[in-house]
Amino acid sequence: MRRVLIWLWISAIVSGQGLRADNQNDFEVLRIDGKPIMNSEYQYVMNKNITNGEMMTDSASQQKYMDMFINFKLKVIEAECQGYDTLKQFVKEFGLYRTQLSLPYLTDDSVNVRLFNEAYEHMKQDCEVSHILLRIENGDTLTAYNRAVEARLRLETEPFAKVAREMSDDPSVRKNNGYLGFFTAQQTVWDFEKAMYDLPLNVISQPVRSDYGYHLILVHSRRPTLGQVHAAHILISVNDKMGKEKKEMAYAEARDLCNRAKRGEDFAKLAKEHSDDKGSGSRGGDLQWFGINKMVPEFEKAAFELEPGEISEPVLTQFGWHIIKVIERRGCGTFEERKMDIAKAIHRDKRSKMAKHSFVMRKVKELGLVADTANIQAVIQIAKENRPQDSVFAAKTKDMNGIAVKFADKVFTQGDFAKFCSAYAVTKLIDRDYDSWGDRFVEFVVSEHENQQLEQKYPDFANLVREYHDGILLFNISNKEVWEKAINDTAGLEQHFAANRKKFVFKEPHYKGVLIKCKSQAVADSIKKAVRKMTQEQIVAYVDSFGTDTVAQAKARAGLWKKGDDAAVDNLVFDKSVQYEKDSEFPVVFVTGKKLRKKPETFDDVRGAVISDYQDHLEQLWIEELRKKHKIEIIK
């Protein structure tokens, strides 16, 4: 479901919300138990059900759809009466959906569109970069920043590699002197990625803050993205413990496999039989899709130099010799194709907060919000001296009633802010930037204020939320009252079948029996004699255990077939001209059973149709009961 929710979010962003509508002309069309139901809801639900340009122009069709709508609402209201909307699972699922659906309404559209477009532009290029990392120790950002400034000053006169070796806190610097190679979008943290794409070539960045510390970034070059390759490989392992002779044997084996693959032998078969990479070997060497920086450099270079269908010469890496076959290649893809990837990336990093922050700042001005900095700072000072999640903090702030934030007709006191701090401290344990907690509180109260008004402000939002709310309730109560009830009511199904036999007839002949495949004619003849008076179940059991050898001599499958369901049955029962592919292991085939021309023998022959019809019957009885139970008023 999460994929669907993200898709709803990005669809609203990239197409513009377009969800604001005037609902002032709405009116009642129906009351159930005195509860008004508006025309806007009726039209929304009915438009979802009208297909192929159908029009409700005459009174008969209007009545048909009104009846459908009433039946739908009765089921939902009954679910509410039975408390389905208070169940923990419902509250959780519905709450998650509404939260996700509200995101585009509580963010700045223009910022989101800019972020999506910027992310896609990044995907079109790879950047060749070096960096120096200065880690922040024990929250001491000033020391880390000053070290970054010092390193940048040294870079004005000293080689990058030298300064990196002496000052960078990146453990890999001992091997790479700060050189990272090529990176593409979504392969590093956002702050680093943005700087990497914004910087001019061969210019040292100012200190760039990320979750890891401060970075000094140097971009050597950019190129059109290499995209991704779908490749397979065969690995012949080599390691430092091997002697010279074993290494030579490994290369000889790799060379031989490479030649065989290039001569046209099945690559997947060779990988399954010979590759020392057992994980991919079981899949015919398939490594799926991968981009840059996913494989060791030697492997990556060789793979990206190949065209689809090409096979590499043996490639040596730290793991051994690889024979690589590229199956497919693709570039960055279109914007439409990559929207989902971009949305997931934005959700994972700080960009997810940018559009929300912009929205909140706009609302702060619109609402005329006033924050009392002194009162807020007084609570923050207590938070700095006492852990906000502890009882001491709660005790010291419980009687603080000064105004912290106010707007419109709402007032939030220092006590409200203190409660927010206590809850925020539990969920955001790593955030110790207490001075920013006042801003977090403003974001929280403004977002909550706007969130509570979404249904009133945006009719389309209200319709979507109600649709999901009612849909869950409808499914849950229908499952109990109709679907599962019908499936589990064996006696009721049998009675329904007996009382309505004329409904359950075949439109075309069926064959009911057992299809048996044998290793030889002798086996078939022996089985035919033995099973003449057996039931289907007995025949299948007998065939499965036939013979004394450990190797199966025959196999059987019971069924009910009409023409076209199985080619072998068609040939043996319905039409001898129908050809079918014989099983090379069990070439002799025959059937035992009977042809049913119109009527099924038992309920089980038409179980699916009976269950479906019985469900319809139970639903009709249920609707009649609901219509008697609830008061319905149609307002014409």
Q: How confident is the model at residue 13 (pLDDT cuts 50, 70, 90)?
A: very low
One domain, residues 19 and 75: yes
Distance CA 430, CA 424 (A): 10
Mean pLDDT of all residues in 300-310 = 94
Give the Cβ contact number of residue 99 at 10 Å: 12
pLDDT score of 286: 95
pLDDT of residue 53: 54
The contacts of residue 213 (CB under 8 Å, 6+ apart) are 133, 134, 135, 136, 144, 169
pLDDT at 21: 45
Q: Which two tokens stand for residue 226?
A: 């290499």
Exposure string over 504-523, b if 16+ CB within 10 A, otherwise e? beeeeebbbbbbbbbbeeeb
Residue 251 lies in a domain: yes
Pairing of strands 125-134, 35-38: unpaired
Residue 321 token pair: 């010799």
- Residues 486, 615 share a domain: yes
Over residues 424-436, mean pLDDT: 78
Question: What pLDDT, on a 0 to 100 scale, did the predictor assign at position 430?
Answer: 62
pLDDT value at 8 more than 60:
no
Residue 229 is predicted with a pLDDT of 95
pLDDT of 395: 94
Give the pLDDT score at 51: 62
Q: Whole-angstrom Cα distance, residue 46 to residue 459?
A: 16
pLDDT band at 320 (very low <50, low <70, confident <90, very high): very high
Q: Are residues 75 and 24 in the same domain?
A: yes
At residue 127, the pLDDT reads 96
pLDDT classification of 431: cutoffs 50, 70, 90: low
CB-neighbour burial class of residue 441 (10 A; exposed 0-12, middle 13-18, buried 19+): buried
- 328 neighbors 230 (Cβ within 8 angstroms): yes
CATH of the domain at 271: 3.10.50.40
Same domain flag for 233 and 161: no
Tens digit of pLDDT for each residue in 605-630?
A: 999 999 999 999 999 999 999 999 99
Q: What's the confidence (pLDDT) of residue 16?
A: 45
Do 4 and 82 lie in one domain? The reply is: yes
Host domain of residue 527: 506-598
Q: What share of the chain in percent tops pLDDT 70?
A: 94
Mean pLDDT, the chain, whole residue set: 90
Give pLDDT, residue 52: 56
360 lies in a domain? no
pLDDT level of residue 68 (50, 70, 90 thresholds): very high
Regarding whether 204 and 301 lie in a shared domain, the answer is: no
- Residue 613 included in any domain: yes
Coil, helix or strand at residue 93:
helix
443: its two tokens: 């974001």
Contact 412, 405 (CB under 8 A): yes
Mean pLDDT over residues 71-78, rounded? 96
Check residue 442 and give its pLDDT: 95
Distance CA 566, CA 562 (A): 8
Determine if the pTM surpasses 0.85: no
Question: Is-contact 579 567, C-beta < 8 A?
Answer: yes
Which pLDDT does position 55 carry in this prediction? 57
* 403-407 vs 208-210, strand pairing mode: unpaired
pLDDT the model gives residue 18 = 42
Give the model's confidence band at 54: pLDDT under 50 very low, under 70 low, under 90 confident, else very high: low
**Residue type at 240 in one-letter notation:** D
111 in a structural domain: no
Q: Please report which confidence band the pLDDT of residue 426 belongs to, taking 50, 70 and 90 as the band edges.
A: confident
Question: Is 358 part of any domain?
Answer: no
Q: What angle do CA 427, 442, 399 make, to 5 degrees?
A: 80
Mean pLDDT of 74-101: 94
| Model confidence at 592: pLDDT above 80 | yes
State the DSSP code for 574. Answer: I
* Whether residue 102 sits in one domain with residue 3: yes
Residue type, 156: E
Which of 330, 360, 393 delimits the end of a domain? 330
For residue 115, being part of any structural domain is answered with: no
Bridge partners of residue 589, in order along the sequence: 517
Residues 591 and 627 in one domain: no
Distance CA 82, CA 581 (A): 57
pLDDT tens across 540-589, in order? 999 988 876 678 899 999 999 999 999 999 999 999 999 998 888 999 99
pLDDT digit string (tens) for 170-192? Answer: 999 999 999 999 999 999 999 99
pLDDT in tens, 88-138: 999 999 999 999 899 888 888 889 899 999 999 999 999 999 999 999 988
- Measured distance CA(142)–CA(602) in Å, rounded: 83
Quickly state the pLDDT bin for 15 (edges 50, 70, 90). Answer: very low
Tens digit of pLDDT for each residue in 332-381? Answer: 889 998 888 888 888 888 888 888 899 999 999 999 999 999 999 999 99
Residue 344 Cα distances to 117, 538, 609, angstroms: 14, 55, 43
Indicate whether 485 and 614 sit together in one domain: yes
Considering the domain architecture, whether residues 237 and 220 belong to the same structural domain is answered as: no
Domain end (from 209, 224, 239): 224
Task: From 300, 294, 273, select the one nearest 284 (Cα to Cα).
Answer: 273
Q: How far apart are CA 156 and CA 138, in angstroms?
A: 29
> pLDDT for 472-528, tens place per residue?
999 999 999 999 999 999 899 999 999 998 899 998 999 999 999 999 999 999 999
pLDDT band at 57 (very low <50, low <70, confident <90, very high): low
Q: Is 444 in the same domain as 467?
A: no
For the stretch 244-286, pLDDT in tens is 999 999 999 999 999 999 999 999 999 999 999 999 999 999 9
Query: Domain ends where: 176, 205, 224?
Result: 224
Residue 117 lies in a domain: no
Q: For residues 613 and 594, state if they share a domain.
A: no
Query: What is the C-alpha to C-alpha distance for residues 255 and 611, in angstroms, rounded to an integer?
Result: 63
Residue-wise pLDDT for 447-471, tens only, equals: 999 999 999 999 889 999 999 999 9
In angstroms, the CA 475 to CA 488 distance is: 17
For residue 119, is it within any domain?
no
| pLDDT of 66 over the 70 cut | yes
| pLDDT for the residue 19 | 44
Q: Give the total number of structural domains in the chain.
A: 5
